[in-house]
Structure 1
Amino acid sequence: MRISQLATAVTVALVAGLGLTACGPADSPAAAPAAAPTASAAAASTAHPVTTLPPAQGTKSPAGPATPAGDRCHSSDLSLDVIMGPQDGGASGTGDFTIELINKSARTCTLHGYPGVELLDQSGHPLGMKDVRNPQFALSGDGQVTTQTLSRGSADPTKSAASAAYVRFDTKEPGATAGYPRALKVQVIPPDETQPLVAPITMLDAPAGSDSSIMVTSTTLTIGPMDVDAPPHG
C-alpha cells in the first residue's frame, strides 16, 4: 500500500468540532445502501439516514455543480480499503477509521461529495447507522468539499490513484461494551452511486490474529467528504 501520513491540518480541523460547513452534493440525500451484502454485492433496498451539517459563518462553499455523470467514478471503477490506525481503547469515547476508494479502471474519473457508509455485523447484516456529513472532517484540513480526480488505474495497485474519507464513531472501553454491536466489515457507496462496495477492516500495527471488529455505542457515524489520499498506511 502507498505510504502517506495524515496531514497535520486534519488534527487541527477535527479538534474544532462539528459546527462547520456542508456543501455541494451533500445537500441531496445519499444513495440508499444495500441490505445484507451477498457474494454479488446486492443493490440497496432501504433508505439510509443522512444529516448534513449547516454552513459555518465565513466559510465559502465550492462553486459549480456536482461532477457530470460521464466523468465521475462509478462503483465498478473502484476498489475499497478500510484502514484503522492505532486507537485509544475507547477511553476518549470515540474511534475512527478511513475509507479509501482506489481507481482500478482504465480511465480517469472523479469523486465529489460524501460516501454513504454502513457497518456490517459478523453475519453481513447492516447495523442501521445514520450518516452525519461534516466537511470539517476533510482530510486536507481545509473544511471544503472538493472534486478529487483519480488518474487511470495502474497494474501496480499501490500506485493507483485513490481518494479517502475520514469516519468517526462512538465507542467505549472494551470492558464497558458488553451487549453493544460489533462491526466486522464496512459497506461504502461512492458519491452519486447506488452500488455498494464492501471490505473488511484493516488494523494497522496489530498482531496477527487480533480482533479487527469495531464496537459501536450509538448509531451515528460522522463522515468527511472524499478528499486527498491521506490515511495512515502500513
Structure 2
Amino acid sequence: MAKTSQSLRRAALLASAVAVLGSLTACDTAHRTETASRQLSATGGATRCHTSELRASVGRMDPGAGQRNLPVVLTNVSSRSCTLHGHPGAAFVDASGRRLGPDPERTPDAPATVTLAPGETAWAGLRYASPEVSGARAATPAALLVTPPDERESLRVRWTADEVPAGGNAASVYLTALAAGSGP
C-alpha cells in the first residue's frame, strides 16, 4: 500500500510540474507576442501590400536604340503603409483577356524591400526590343496585367503604347525588380 501511495504522489508531482511548465511557456509566448506587437507599432507595422491596396499604371515610354523602356508603377491607395519585395508579374493581353506572347522574364537584379506610405509609388522597368527592329512577331495588346509580388490577383492597365513582341526568337521581354519612386 505504501508503494501505491508513493506512486500516486510522484504522479501528482509530475502532473503539477507539467502544469507549471505549460503555464510558464504560455506566459513566455504571450510576452513574446506582446513585445513583437509593440515593435511593429513602433516601426509603423508595415506588412506586405495586397493587390486590393494598389493601383497600377504604365509610365511614359523611353525609346532608345531599338529598345522600348517603360516604368510599371504600383501606387499604394490604402490608408496604411505596406511593403513590396521582388519582381511584379506581368502579361500582355488582348481585349478578350487572352495572353499575347511570353510573360516578361525577371532580370537577375537583387530585389530590395520598398515601404510605401499611403500615396507613394514603386516601379519596375519593362524592357523589350522593338518588333520592327528585332523581327519578332508583333501584336498590340489591349492591356497589361500587373501582379504585385506574392499576390495572385492582377491589376489591369490599359495599354496605350505601340506593338510588343508576341512570338519568334526575338520576343523576349524583361522586367526588373521593384524600386522606390515612379521611374528613372
TM-score w.r.t. the length of structure 2 is: 0.64
User: How many angstroms apart in 2 are the aligned matches of 1:94 and 1:121?
Assistant: 22
Correspondence 1:181 to 2:133: no
Aligned match for 2:116, one of 146, 150, 160: 150
Name segments (4+ residues, structure 1) moved above 4 Å.
Answer: none
Correspondence 1:171 to 2:144: no
1:229 paired residue number: 181
Query: As a proportion of its length, which structure holds more helix?
Result: 2
User: How many angstroms apart in 1 are the aligned matches of 2:75 and 2:182?
Assistant: 13
Native 8 Å contact 2:165 2:173 kept in 1: no
1:72 paired residue number: 48
1:103 paired residue number: 76
Native 8 Å contact 2:73 2:182 kept in 1: no
CA RMSD of aligned residues (A): 2.4
Instruction: Tell me the amino acid that sits aligned with residue 185 of structure 1.
Output: A
TM-score w.r.t. the length of structure 1 is: 0.51
User: How many angstroms apart in 2 are the aligned matches of 1:213 and 1:184?
Assistant: 10
1:193 paired residue number: 151
- Structure 1 residue runs of 5 or longer lacking an equivalent are 1-69, 137-143, 153-159, 203-211
User: Against the structure 1 CA distance between its residues 133 and 200, is the aligned structure 2 distance closer, same or farther, given a 3 Å change threshold?
Assistant: same
2:162 paired residue number: 213
What is the Cα deviation at residue 217 of structure 1? 5.2
Instruction: Tell me the amino acid that sits aligned with residue 175 of structure 2.
Output: I
User: How many angstroms apart in 2 are the aligned matches of 1:194 and 1:220?
Assistant: 23
Alignment of 1:34-183 (within 5 A): 71-88=47-64, 92-136=65-109, 144-152=110-118, 160-173=119-132, 180-183=138-141
Instruction: Tell me the amino acid that sits aligned with residue 190 of structure 1.
Output: P
User: Against the structure 1 CA distance between its residues 223 and 78, is the aligned structure 2 distance closer, same or farther, given a 3 Å change threshold?
Assistant: same
SS in 1 for 2:79: coil
Instruction: Tell me the amino acid that sits aligned with residue 99 of structure 1.
Output: V
User: How many angstroms apart in 2 are the aligned matches of 1:162 and 1:220?
Assistant: 26
Native 8 Å contact 1:110 1:149 kept in 2: yes
What is the Cα deviation at residue 229 of structure 1? 1.2
User: How many angstroms apart in 2 are the aligned matches of 1:215 and 1:148?
Assistant: 29
User: Against the structure 1 CA distance between its residues 193 and 162, is the aligned structure 2 distance closer, same or farther, given a 3 Å change threshold?
Assistant: same
User: Against the structure 1 CA distance between its residues 217 and 118, is the aligned structure 2 distance closer, same or farther, given a 3 Å change threshold?
Assistant: closer
Q: How many residues align?
A: 135
User: How many angstroms apart in 1 are the aligned matches of 2:178 and 2:141?
Assistant: 22
Q: Give % identity.
A: 29
Deviations 1:102-131 (A, max 9, x none): 000011100001111101124432114233
